[in-house]
Chains A and B, each alone.
Chain A
Amino acid sequence: DADVTQTPRNRITKTGKRIMLECSQTKGHDRMYWYRQDPGLGLRLIYYSFDVKDINKGEISDGYSVSRQAQAKFSLSLESAIPNQTALYFCATSDNGQAFSGANVLTFGAGSRLTVL
């Protein structure tokens, strides 16, 4: 099984619908992230969480919300999807970065491609 699992892999939805993207990990990492990838723009951070009680907005959090249900689970919600939220969404995890060596390497899920019509 993958270390970081994202569901669904692909989803087509309509404007105004609520969508939840789910992420679970078996790495035992404290830190989890949601990124969005658009062609020509690279990856941009939506939200990140350093532990279950710590949620932080990233660069492009408007229109999104997250929930850290457990250390291993971090979900991203679009309360009312709009077409410009069509993108590839990545969940990622990392350790707590205390050790310089080997630290802060993000492990990515396989991505969830969302299309909003």
Chain B
Amino acid sequence: AQTVTQSQPEMSVQEAETVTLSCTYDTSESDYYLFWYKQPPSRQMILVIRQEAYKQQNATENRFSVNFQKAAKSFSLKISDSQLGDAAMYFCASLLRYGGSQGNLIFGKGTKLSVKP
């Protein structure tokens, strides 16, 4: 069974600083996707970044980047130059590409990020 663990219920960062949110996952499969979703107070779920497991290169999207360590099953999110609008709940999630659980996005419990001005 897949599991996703976010060990930091809450994090805080100063505006313009860098913060890293941790995520570990467990799966016996080799072909899967990993995601970070952001949920601001508006409660909308917004995709931040996606990583395909077969790609060794870490995904980046502007100020957001990941550190994907496949052997360690670790998928951390780094936010650079933090902005007030980055304050939100962040969810790590995994998805198998094949198999009976295909389509079942497994979420971690989330990390609440606060950004201090």
Please report A residues at the B interface, Cβ cutoff 8 Å.
31, 33, 40-45, 48, 50, 56, 58-59, 88, 90, 92, 94, 97, 100, 103-106, 108, 110-111, 113
Which of A42, A48, A97, A105 has a CB less than 8 Å from the CB of B104?
Answer: A48
Measured between alpha carbons, how far is A105 from B105 in the docked complex, in Å? 10
Quick check: B44 and A48 within 8 Å, CB to CB?
no
Instruction: Point out residues on B near A: beta carbons under 8 Å.
Output: 4, 9, 33, 35, 42-45, 47, 50, 52, 91, 93, 95, 97, 102-105, 107-110
Q: With A44-B107, A104-B33 as given contacts, are A97 and B102 in contact (CB-CB < 8 Å)?
A: yes
A-side interface mostly: strand
Cross-chain contact B104 with A58 (CB below 8 angstroms): yes
Contact of A42 among B42, B102, B109 (CB under 8 A): B109
Looking at the complex, which one of B9, B33, B43, B108 makes contact with A111 (CB distance below 8 Å)? B43
Closest to A50 in B: B103
Please, which residues of chain A bring their CB within 8 A of the CB of B93?
A: 43
| A29–B52 alpha-carbon span in the complex (Å) | 21
- What are 18 A-B pairs at a CB distance below 8 A? A33-B103, A40-B9, A42-B4, A42-B91, A42-B109, A48-B104, A56-B103, A59-B104, A90-B45, A94-B103, A97-B103, A100-B52, A104-B95, A105-B35, A105-B47, A105-B50, A108-B44, A110-B42
Question: Which residues of the other chain, B, contact A41 by a CB distance below 8 angstroms?
Answer: 109
Which partner residue on chain B sits nearest A101 by CB separation? B52
